[in-house]
Structure 1
């Protein structure tokens, strides 16, 4: 369309053109008369259009689609069409409905949709089905969580016979180590069918020759470190306090590597290993520990570190790769597998130990489902068919596990 305008050489004449579509202003272009005189054809006009407000591009829409399941059986799908705006005030263009059956036909005449409010057409170009498995799918398929415990027996914990010690065995209440162990163990033991848990200590001198060990079995059985259920782990822990000498240093790498060797033999998705480490101080072998974590990140394994006592645990945050992934020797961890928490943040002020343990278990176990899924996805492992329950005993076990699954998957502790 042509416009006839008076031209004044001696004046600066800015000409404004509003560009848009019906019901929506896309922006404006401001030209001087001199600039406009150079716009001889469409190509030049498009070059001039770079002065358009960056909020919306000249003559262009940025549509996106939002899909809704509009009925419970998923047969009907409602799709809203919007025009994207940088400031978030997206403009509604229209809507249409389709179904999974129609979409599964792929690109065809059946998958060309008229948007209801105005004339644009939405055309399906491709269709692909991908299964999104959940933590519960793997548990139902028989994936077992192998729970391993490692307890700090370094001298900084104090003499176990003294009430000031973090290892003090009071006849009236559990110490911080026992509370952390029982809080996590009571939840996670429901995912291991045999209820046999390897339990280790580190940083102590062992009888009879006083040799320092950073991965000794709490039950004193070098050939079989398994304890029966969490109560068996607690019993072995208390027995070790009576027989070993607390010493040092605080080395994490040996026990992490110990569990990693077991995990390396079970990478088919049938087993996932969770290592609980409870400590009172700063890690002495930080470089070796970071290397161990980086190596373990490629295995079906997660590490929970609970810090007890008043020490500062700033260095521990480096292992908890929520912000920056752990790295060693130029390699970064494939996955975030470490969760660190200081126990003091979860102690109930009224002294209620049950509440303290519930709070701790909720936080330290919250990341396990996603960490398990991240490993399974990285190896393209799918869950096996659900394991059917048989008999009254199996039914009882399945019911208990179902409650615990819901608890962990939602980051909530519902155990009594």
Structure 2
């Protein structure tokens, strides 16, 4: 089953698009193996980004002499595209003094991930790998801070007086690390100053830091998936069916699911996605359902990653009977119920994205309009991907780009939360183009909701966690 997922995933390509925002990345390593018994490594981290299957160097840190657990002061500033899979590679090298840069350096290991994984988790720690194996107990930690285009900055200056001597013969070589205390009690490095050699009253260089960097707290996005299992899709055993499962080639449902899900899964901390189906007769009594769990576990409909959703989808098909009608209001109401509960929590920091994959004209238009108007007051967005060649006029109405959507009673939506894209328009384009089209409006929808509610990320206003260390 993973072959289908990998086949769909491999078609995701790199396509340039306007930069959404910028991200600051900070790097630290732990447990780097010593070169020999008499000396520690002189580490440097090289950041590379993948484009068209090739790795290109973006930037590199300074070299920290004689350290097995370096915290680099270099900050990587990278462009961040919410709707793209941006693959990064962090390479650790041992650059001894007097050698010719990376050409003569010892390769100590590397870590690969996506920028979205770092941004969503804020702090990502992974083992360093060397030739496919873990490099001893060494690991690398990358922290991220998103910067808005109009970030405010503050200039900080620090000094110290009358530090204790290391011993009778030498003075301290102090540097300062500034940490931010997060909501969960953990700490994130904000800045590391230069080391002032042999000084008991150091004055460090001033530096600027974004106020956004000093803020903790974020809005989590949770993806929920809904798949159309109505009879109009065709018998899954027939090669003409939109649900036909080929042993090695993904059908259009799977292509759309992987294209959008590959992006969204980076923004969910536990990578567990509830997946639902609608319009099918389901076991054991084979009654029609419009909001059943694809894994048939109603108490826990979550699947492990997008690959887990793909596998649950493939396991589900032989056990159900495609039926109808095409009612999507129930699944919107189901997600809206979760969003409503979140809205009334103390933190109210979770935002829900419902991805609906469907092949045809919906049959409960009035109820769907009512459900969307209600959901427009909640922390949620609805993405509809039309699969096949049906008439999707109703979907365009729900999208609201040509006018304000209203409920049957005339109540307008509070904000536009629906984005519809017909998959057929992307037949000859990379699935990454589909992901960009359907996800481009999500960031603004998230911001519009929290701005309307007056909910902002929490911010640390003091610097109680500054600490001084000797190297």
- Could you say which TM-score interval applies, normalised by the shorter chain? 0.5 to 0.7
Question: How far apart are 1:347 and its partner, in Å?
Answer: 1.5
Match of 1:124 in 2: none
Q: Which runs of 5+ in 2 are unaligned?
A: 1-151, 156-209, 461-471
Match of 1:320 in 2: 399
Matching of residue 220 in structure 1 with residue 296 in structure 2:
yes
Relative to the length of structure 2, the TM-score reads 0.51
| Equivalent residue pairs, number | 252
Match of 1:154 in 2: 230
Relative to the length of structure 1, the TM-score reads 0.58
Matching of residue 251 in structure 1 with residue 327 in structure 2:
yes
Structure 1 pair 331–303 and aligned structure 2 pair: CA distance change class (3 A)? same
Matching of residue 332 in structure 1 with residue 332 in structure 2:
no
- Describe the superposition over 1:233-288 as per-residue Cα deviations: whole angstroms up to 9, x where unpaired: 11111111110000000000000000000000112441000000000000000000
Normalized per residue, which structure has more strand?
Answer: 2
- Describe the superposition over 1:23-63 as per-residue Cα deviations: whole angstroms up to 9, x where unpaired: xxxxxxxxxxxxxxxxxxxxxxxxxxxxxxxxxxxxxxxxx
Rounded to whole Å, the distance in 1 between the matches of 2:216 and 2:364 is 39
Query: Which of 359, 370, 374 is equivalent to 1:295?
Result: 374
Query: Which of 246, 258, 263 is equivalent to 1:182?
Result: 258
SS in 2 for 1:316: helix
Question: How far apart are 1:207 and its partner, in Å?
Answer: 1.3
Query: Which of 446, 467, 471 is equivalent to 1:372?
Result: 446
Question: How far apart are 1:140 and its partner, in Å?
Answer: 6.9
Match of 2:390 in 1: 311
SS in 1 for 2:391: coil
SS in 2 for 1:319: helix
SS in 2 for 1:219: coil
Match of 1:356 in 2: 430
Structure 1 pair 195–357 and aligned structure 2 pair: CA distance change class (3 A)? same
Alpha-carbon contact 1:281-1:312 (below 8 Å) kept: yes
Question: How far apart are 1:194 and its partner, in Å?
Answer: 0.8
Structure 1 pair 162–298 and aligned structure 2 pair: CA distance change class (3 A)? same
SS in 2 for 1:327: coil
Question: How far apart are 1:384 and its partner, in Å?
Answer: 2.4
Rounded to whole Å, the distance in 1 between the matches of 2:432 and 2:265 is 15
Rounded to whole Å, the distance in 2 between the matches of 1:385 and 1:301 is 24
Match of 1:285 in 2: 364
SS in 1 for 2:315: helix
Question: How far apart are 1:322 and its partner, in Å?
Answer: 1.7
Alpha-carbon contact 1:202-1:251 (below 8 Å) kept: yes
SS in 2 for 1:345: helix
Alpha-carbon contact 1:253-1:285 (below 8 Å) kept: yes
Matching of residue 143 in structure 1 with residue 224 in structure 2:
no
Q: CA RMSD in A?
A: 2.5
Where does 1:120-139 land on structure 2 (aligned, <5 Å)? none
Q: Which runs of 5+ in 1 are unaligned?
A: 1-71, 76-132, 349-354, 387-416
